[in-house]
Structure 1
Amino acid sequence: MSSPFDVIVVGGGPAGSTAAYKLGLAGAKVLLIDKAAEFPREKPCGGGLSARLLERFPYVGDLFDAGEVSVNPVSRVHLESPDGTRVTYQQGDPILYLVRRWQFDEALFKRAASVCSVRLGTTIRKCEVKPTHVELETTEGEIITGPMVIGADSANSVIARHTGLRSEAAHKEYAVDMMEETDYSRLDVKDRDAIYLFLTLTETFGYGYIFPKTHHLNLGFGCKLDWYLKELRGKGAEHHAQWVETLKRQGDVTGETNRSGYKAFPIPVSGPLAKTYTDRVLLAGDAGGFVNAFTAEGIFYAMTSGALAADTALNAVRTQQYDERTLAAYEKAWRQEIGDELLHSVDIQHRLFNGSGRMDALVRKAKEDPELLHLIIGYSMGASTYEQLRNHMMRSTVPTWVWNKVKSAVGFAR
């Protein structure tokens, strides 16, 4: 079946916009579809961009320089373990660039829209792969066809589910991030030049965070979806308000929570899907499970998977080969660039977020060992590797009772 487009990209977030932008620049005819009626659109998210994201995608720095996206570069981290041990890490260069997602996503979307066709306010409810094309059905009953599709349509991806690429029970795969973004006139933080990470919710798989933006404060916490459904269903906003009160008692924040600004959203935290491609279909971003299971960071992986999906799609368009065998190159590419760290992140999540005291032991040791702290923060932000962290810990002089816990936590016994 003929189509005016070479590739259809579903989802206009960082993954989809990156893929569409790269394809469009290369001359492919692309249709970018998003369910939002317009951009900017609301997007709850911590909004932390790692320094390596700017290295991988230099044009993001241009967005900052042009004032399209306001940014707060931070070079300090306050890290707290479950037992209340707190350690502060400082470096010269920025560790993280904090942005408001509605601004960032709009800027990426505009770049994509400059080189491709766009359909806003269009929700895809069905995806069917045919021998010669892909059919997408909208909620209005319209059929949109194309030779291939890149699904970048969030953690609840229709493309992933309808092509059989995501099938496991949701509560096993997801966490829920509950947060608010409030201006400083209402809710402020003690240190606007730092991020706060609270690795304190061990029994729930969890974390708390404070991310100070240029004019707004973003804070929240995350937990596994199964625990949320069991303990917090219908009580998320109340629990969030209690979390803010805890932060106030600790002296980390001042002011009042904005209950109307409370948002909750799913995050896939079980690593990339077992398969991220099939005939005529590739998955990128949250749709493919490209989120760090330890830190819950997803923007870098979304954009990277989007760029790699575009490379594979472009080759498919040029060769007119859209079968699984051709598209398997995508999985090989993402495994080579980000696969190891994503798989390690799942393992570390399982070992540390389990109430065993391993997180306490690790943070207490880091308080005494500046290099270990440097590597922990670096690993969390993508600046150091799992191997560097592991090798340092193997060389360090750790008391036996701590060492046994720590080596187990990061998988040295395997």
Structure 2
Amino acid sequence: MYDVVVVGAGPAGTTAAKHIAEKGLDTLIIEKSKLPREKPCAGLVSQHALDNLDFKIPEYLIKRRCYGTRVIYKNHVLESKLAVPIGIQVSRSEFDYYLAQQATKSGAKIIQNTPVKSVHTKNDHVAIYTKDELFNSRIVIGADGVNSVCAKKASSDSKPRKNAFSLVSNLPAPIEHINNKYIDITEVDFGRAKNGYFWVFPKDNYLSVGMGIFGNPSEFEPLTSYYDYIKDQSFEYAKPHGHSIPIGGYKRNIQSNRILLVGDAAGFVDAFLGEGIPYAIMSGKIAANIVINAFEDNDFSNSKLSSYSIECEKVFGDNLKYSLIFSRLFYRFPGIFAKMLTNREEMLYNALLVVKGESSYKRFLRWLIPRFPYYTALLLKKSLI
């Protein structure tokens, strides 16, 4: 019988496991893949995420530092940078593996290459079934991503989960080309994917190129659009990996008796950009504190664990809610918002402050709404809308 089993070794799971193991609780992480494992992701870890870690990321993991972005919408292009980095570019396989190592150094154990098939809550423990083994734990943290097995047990919500869709691949590129065009910025193109965008994120000797769709991918052919995009950009061909991303900002059940959900499994993802790492780390830390307190009181009931959802809402719930509001506005009227973003440098600059974690979506919208009529009038004057 373990004290805590964490299902999934992504940033949310390993963060939770690290903090729990440090308190002396017998902690096991069960990871479906062999580490380090490939993770389809753009690979930008924002300063917002880094500020929530209690250790520094070593230099060897940092492919590049990112100071800003170049935004494209049809024939409109605009760049903006901050004086300090908004984040770092990493390989997600290396980054996640490093976080897992921090968890094991703190005393957590990891079993790899072992998918969890189901979890069942008993009176005094949770039974976790894999293909070949049964693990018992007094409490479970579900950190198993958008298709979470644990979420099926923890959530009584019968509504379908709202997800975005992404395609991404790592494309080799000459270092000279990367340095000339993307040395310390990302590139985002809102003009080629309905209800979504393409991105180019530079690493050391390759580019992470992908697309995110926040609407229904069946409305057009995402794979065809992806290949057209990399062909137009003269990138090397590589087959992309597709995966779903939960859209944050919706109310979800994130705990039940003896089970807590963290990160993507809880739907904690920015609804506009699809960024999830900051919320994974924050929810992992909050879950760890709730679990430690539950052991102190020997109470693992849903009513005891309900403080978890309250604390998550207090710490970052507003940002997810307002990211969803902005996403809905932006993708309903992309011809207006994307043109504003590519014509008003102060708007793009303020958006970068949100990515960095120095501002919030709520503050950004409060800044934008009074200026919206003026910006719209300028676009009309220039015959841009």
For normalisation by structure 2, the TM-score amounts to 0.90
Per-residue displacement from partner, 1:282-317 (whole Å, max 9, x unpaired)? Answer: 000100001000110011111111111111111111
Contact 1:183 1:215 in 2 (8 A): yes
For 1:196 and 1:89, how far apart are their aligned partners in 2?
Answer: 11
**What are the within-5 Å matches in structure 2 for residues 198-217 of structure 1?**
198-201=189-192, 204-217=194-207
Contact 2:322 2:362 in 1 (8 A): no
Structure 2 runs not aligned, ≥5 long: 381-385
The reply on whether 1:129 has 2:121 as its aligned counterpart is yes
Query: For structure 1, which segment, 330-339 or 267-276, has the greater mean C-alpha deviation from structure 2 after superposition?
Result: 267-276
188 and 179 in structure 1: CA distance in 2 versus 1, 3 angstrom threshold: farther
Aligned counterpart in structure 2 of residue 47 of structure 1, from 43, 46, 60: 43
Contact 1:165 1:276 in 2 (8 A): no
| Aligned position for 1:271 | 249
Contact 2:294 2:300 in 1 (8 A): yes
Aligned counterpart in structure 2 of residue 179 of structure 1, from 154, 168, 181: 168
| Aligned position for 1:239 | 225
The reply on whether 1:102 has 2:93 as its aligned counterpart is yes
Task: Count residues in correspondence.
Answer: 377
Residue 164 (structure 1) shift: 3.0
Structure 1 runs not aligned, ≥5 long: 249-254, 406-414
Q: Which amino acid aligns with 1:86?
A: V
126 and 273 in structure 1: CA distance in 2 versus 1, 3 angstrom threshold: farther
The reply on whether 1:390 has 2:365 as its aligned counterpart is yes
For 1:244 and 1:186, how far apart are their aligned partners in 2?
Answer: 18
Residue 168 (structure 1) shift: 2.8
Identity between Structure 1 and Structure 2 (%): 26
Aligned counterpart in structure 1 of residue 71 of structure 2, from 71, 79, 100: 79
For 1:280 and 1:10, how far apart are their aligned partners in 2?
Answer: 13
For 1:139 and 1:402, how far apart are their aligned partners in 2?
Answer: 61
Per-residue displacement from partner, 1:361-408 (whole Å, max 9, x unpaired)? Answer: 5325524xx3x3321221244321234323433554853854999xxx
For 1:393 and 1:403, how far apart are their aligned partners in 2?
Answer: 14
Aligned counterpart in structure 2 of residue 332 of structure 1, from 298, 310, 322: 310
Query: For structure 1, which segment, 44-53 or 187-196, has the greater mean C-alpha deviation from structure 2 after superposition?
Result: 187-196
**What are the within-5 Å matches in structure 2 for residues 86-97 of structure 1?**
86-97=77-88
| Aligned position for 2:383 | none
128 and 201 in structure 1: CA distance in 2 versus 1, 3 angstrom threshold: farther
| Aligned position for 2:236 | 256
Contact 1:187 1:256 in 2 (8 A): no
Q: Which amino acid aligns with 2:126?
A: V
| Aligned position for 1:155 | 146
Residue 228 (structure 1) shift: 2.2
111 and 323 in structure 1: CA distance in 2 versus 1, 3 angstrom threshold: same
The reply on whether 1:6 has 2:32 as its aligned counterpart is no
Residue 212 (structure 1) shift: 0.2
Per-residue displacement from partner, 1:229-278 (whole Å, max 9, x unpaired)? Answer: 4533xx72x43221112334xxxxxx42223xx21111011435522111
The reply on whether 1:399 has 2:374 as its aligned counterpart is yes
Q: Which amino acid aligns with 1:205?
A: N
381 and 393 in structure 1: CA distance in 2 versus 1, 3 angstrom threshold: same
For 2:220 and 2:76, how far apart are their aligned partners in 1?
Answer: 26
Q: Which amino acid aligns with 1:358?
A: I
The reply on whether 1:304 has 2:304 as its aligned counterpart is no
401 and 99 in structure 1: CA distance in 2 versus 1, 3 angstrom threshold: closer
SS at match of 2:368: helix
Contact 1:183 1:216 in 2 (8 A): yes
**What are the within-5 Å matches in structure 2 for residues 64-75 of structure 1?**
64-65=58-59, 67=60, 69-75=61-67
| Aligned position for 2:332 | 354
CA RMSD of aligned residues (A): 2.4
Residue 194 (structure 1) shift: 1.0
For 1:121 and 1:356, how far apart are their aligned partners in 2?
Answer: 42
| Aligned position for 1:191 | 182
Q: Which amino acid aligns with 2:140?
A: V
Query: For structure 1, which segment, 179-188 or 265-274, has the greater mean C-alpha deviation from structure 2 after superposition?
Result: 179-188
For 1:245 and 1:166, how far apart are their aligned partners in 2?
Answer: 42
